[in-house]
Structures are given as structure tokens and as C-alpha cells.
Amino acid sequence: MNRFCRRIAVGLVALPLTVGIASAQEKSLYHRLGGYDAIAAMLDDFVGRLAAEQQMQRFFVGHSKNSDIRQRQLVVDLFCQVTGGPCFYIGRDLKVAHAGLGVTKSDWDLANTRFMETMNKFNVGEREQKELAGLIMPLEKDIVEKP
């Protein structure tokens, strides 16, 4: 094998090793949040906070127990996926899923406040909070229908 081919072969062998080292040093947001169970617990707390709000009651009526369980799973899968976890979100896009619900800017702001409270309760670090906000805030345009 000539020198050029050896260098390419050595590079190809070393590439997965260097990628593995880099990824071991920088964990995904999913891992920094504590993985699946931590994300699910955090979202359960968040939804509980929303359900306790008079302003948000209209979003929590008329569902069967089975529908509630499915909706919870979809939300957990969505957060798991977007934070770099192994989940795959199979739900509708968020604009379609929220169409007709009449979510207002006030609802959105209240939900963000309650989500911040949940992240603080779970001791989510400032860096992770900013990353989550970067993932969530752009969704406003797909979820909010009324000013």
C-alpha cells in the first residue's frame, strides 16, 4: 500500500475515535437534563402546573384518560427528540396540533412562566435553560393563534 493510501486508511480509522472523544466531552442537552426519566418528570410537573391554572382549564377538559396518556407521551417524545435524545416524535406538526384551540399570547406567556418555575424546581442549569428556550420560543408562531 502506498504512503497516500496508508494516510487515508489511518485517518478513516482515527476519525470515529476523535468523534467519540469529542462527543464524550460534550454531552447532548438530553443527557445534561438527566435523560428520559428526568425530562418526563419535568414535563409532568409542568403540565400539572398548567392544569392548575384557571386560565388554562379549557385545554384540559373533554379528553379521555387514554387521550391524556397519549398526549403526554407525544410531548415527552418531542422534548426527548429535540434535545438530542433517542426518541422519535410521531405527532402532528405543532401548528396543526394547536389549530383551533385559540391559544393566546397571554396563555403562551403564562405557560412560559410555569415552565421556568418547573426548570428551577428541577435545578436545570442556566445554560440548559437558555438552550431549551432557544428550542421552545420559535414555536410561538405555530402555537399562538390570538394576540
Question: Which residue, chain included where needed, has cell 394576540?
Answer: 147
pLDDT of residue 24: 56
Residue with cell 393566546: 104
pLDDT for res 81 = 98
Residues 6+ positions from 121 with CB-CB distance below 8 Å = 45
CB under 8 Å to 63, separation ≥6 — which residues? 71
Alpha-carbon torsion (79, 84, 86, 92), positive or negative: positive
Fold entry, domain 28-143? Globin-like (1.10.490)
On whether the CB atoms of residues 90 and 77 are closer than 8 A, the answer is yes
**Residue 51 φ/ψ, nearest 5 degrees:** -65, -25
Let me know: does 76 contact 87? Beta carbons within 8 Å. yes
Domain-by-domain residue ranges, the chain? 28-143
Question: What is d(CA 136, CA 79) in angstroms, rounded to the nearest whole number?
Answer: 10
CB neighbours of 59 closer than 8 A, spacing ≥ 6? 50, 101, 107
Q: Give the chain's residues under pLDDT 50.
A: 2-22
| Contact assessment for residue 46 and residue 76, using Cβ atoms and an 8 Å cutoff | no
* 86-114 pLDDT, tens digit each: 999 999 999 999 999 999 999 999 999 99
